[in-house]
Structure 1
Amino acid sequence: MKLIIMRHGQASWSAPSDSLRPLTGAGRQEVRQTVEQLQGEGINRIVASPYLRAQQTADIASEVLGVTVDTINGITPDDSPVDAIEQLPEEGNVLVVSHMPLVSALTALLCDGVPFGGPGFGTANAAVLSLEIPAAGLASLQKMLPV
């Protein structure tokens, strides 16, 4: 299976709470550019954090890829990467839309078996992982996008 871990696009700081921060126009554009690079990955499922900016990122991905979006509550910025792994689908090619620092910690945990020292993720960056099942230390980082 492939697991593509993506950080949401650039978001506005003007919102009543962190969970309600919307994407900016530039954020929408950068998401579209990254998702267009993911079209050949065979993504058949999208899961996203419930935060507005992640939902908007997933909606753009859904539009471009023609895939539905499921919301997972346990993949917000401060959630545990160990707990997040337990909530991920165990089959298919899945796009996971979430936040820093979780995207970095989750990538490190899946690839290296430890939840620290993962790659840096700018807004709308994505890591394409290859793995049998989502479990600590079993993934291989194929590439980082955008390139």
Structure 2
Amino acid sequence: MRLWVLRHGEAEPRANTDAERRLTAHGREQVLHSAAHLLGQPLQAIIASPYVRAQQTAALVHDTLGFAQPVQTVPWLTPESDAQTVIAEIERLGLEHVLLVSHQPLVGNLVGLLEHGHARQPSPLSTASLAELEGDWPLAGLMTLRNLLHTP
């Protein structure tokens, strides 16, 4: 299994709610830079948080890749979601190549948990950072971090 975890691009600092914050022009550029690294990858699904900035990020990746399937929006990828819950949901999907688009602190906790088997070492994903993990199963401590791309 290969799993890519993408943090949304830079977002505006304020909106009526955190969920309504939109990508900035710089954030869109960051996402396009990260999306270029996904070209040619055998993705089966793009799954995103319902928050606006994650939806915009996923849409940019979707369009850049010319991905045939629609972006799947799920409630278990919000900033405060539990990494163990996300792992269970990924396993339930039964897919081999998945891109998740979400937020800190979830993305750092998830990558750290999958790589190290515990939450004491979250990965430092800045805006539009892209982590690539590989392993037989999406289980805590059983995946290897193959690449961690940070955007300018």
Report Cα offsets for 1:57-86 as digits up to 9, x if no partner.
000010011223101101111111011111
2:137 counterpart residue number = 133
The answer as to whether partners of 2:126 and 2:150 remain within 8 angstroms in 1 is: no
Query: What percent of counterpart residues are identical?
Result: 38
Q: 4+ runs of 1 displaced by more than 6 Å?
A: none
1:109 counterpart residue number = 113
**What is the DSSP-based 3-state SS (H/G/I as helix, E as strand, rest coil) of the residue aligned with 1:4?**
strand
- Partner Cα distance (1:112, 1:90) in 2: 22
2:25 counterpart residue number = 25
Report Cα offsets for 1:16-53 as digits up to 9, x if no partner.
00000000011001000111112133222100011000
TM-score by length of 2: 0.91
The answer as to whether partners of 1:72 and 1:87 remain within 8 angstroms in 2 is: no
- Partner Cα distance (1:117, 1:74) in 2: 21
1:8 aligns with 2:8: yes
TM-score by length of 1: 0.94
CA RMSD of superposed structures (Å): 1.3
Report Cα offsets for 1:96-123 as digits up to 9, x if no partner.
0000010010001111111231220110
The answer as to whether partners of 2:5 and 2:130 remain within 8 angstroms in 1 is: yes
The answer as to whether partners of 2:10 and 2:28 remain within 8 angstroms in 1 is: yes
1:91 counterpart residue number = 95
**What is the DSSP-based 3-state SS (H/G/I as helix, E as strand, rest coil) of the residue aligned with 1:41?**
coil
The answer as to whether partners of 2:131 and 2:147 remain within 8 angstroms in 1 is: yes
The answer as to whether partners of 1:35 and 1:64 remain within 8 angstroms in 2 is: yes
1:122 aligns with 2:126: yes
**What is the DSSP-based 3-state SS (H/G/I as helix, E as strand, rest coil) of the residue aligned with 1:16?**
coil
Runs of 5+ consecutive residues of structure 2 not aligned to the other structure: none
2:60 counterpart residue number = 60
Q: Of 60, 70, 75, which aligns to 2:72?
A: 70
The answer as to whether partners of 1:90 and 1:133 remain within 8 angstroms in 2 is: no
1:138 CA displacement: 1.1
**What is the DSSP-based 3-state SS (H/G/I as helix, E as strand, rest coil) of the residue aligned with 1:107?**
helix
